[in-house]
Chains A and B, each alone.
Chain A
């Protein structure tokens, strides 16, 4: 099971299931958060693995968890509008 991101260190790895998240939605979220972290997205088995580095710590909120929320929202929106 993929644990929810906690976001303490300057780096983090998130695993998003490929059946539930669209790659385009993940990269869109990464672009949104480009000013707050660096992102590397790759496929690995059933998951997309997102490596985050240089995560900004001087912001209010959890960058990693907010990124996951954006990836989910983007996926839901794209699926609803028939992009997938």
Chain B
């Protein structure tokens, strides 16, 4: 087997441990963190580095049989791939994401063009003198509970 491929180095069902060895050239460190983070709730994770390889120690928090432990190794490698793809997509679309968020925020503030001029400078968000404004008036009875046993507790 080629040594540049990610692989299971050890797997011991008795101690619920497995060790993966990953080529550092295949996965950025952030991808490794992201994948490891996903497993923190079901395994104890310890990362190490040996020369050009990341070493990932996993120990299951709950008893597992050997096939399940092997499946966990596969799931970790799948998670690495998923996170690597996510990393690439975010990198490729960073500018677009920022632009969309900027337009969305500007639109929510009434500035659809993103010019920074909303025409609402200093205006109160809710006019306390207007019963139609805000949430106090309930002309359609939306705030009334529909459960019979709660209708009298308003």
Contacts and interface: CB of A to CB of B under 8 A. Distances in A.
A65 B59 contact: yes
Interface size class of chain A, counting residues whose CB lies under 8 Å from the partner chain: 20 to 34
A19 B33 contact: no
Nearest to B18: A4
A76 interface: yes
Contacts of B50: 1
A68 interface: yes
Interface stretch (B40-48, B98-106, B119-127): B40-48
B44 A20 contact: no
13 contacts: A1-B50, A4-B46, A4-B59, A5-B44, A14-B46, A20-B49, A46-B49, A61-B61, A65-B59, A68-B45, A73-B37, A73-B40, A79-B30
Interface of A: 1-6, 14-17, 19-21, 46, 61-62, 65-66, 68-69, 72-73, 75-76, 79-80
A-B pairs with lowest CB-CB distance, top 9: A65-B44, A76-B33, A4-B57, A20-B47, A2-B48, A17-B49, A4-B46, A4-B59, A69-B40
Interface of B: 15, 17, 19, 29-30, 32-34, 36-37, 40, 44-50, 54-55, 57-59, 61
Given A14-B46, A20-B49, A76-B34, 16 more contacts: A1-B19, A2-B46, A2-B48, A2-B57, A3-B57, A6-B15, A19-B49, A61-B61, A65-B44, A65-B46, A66-B44, A68-B45, A72-B33, A72-B46, A76-B37, A79-B30
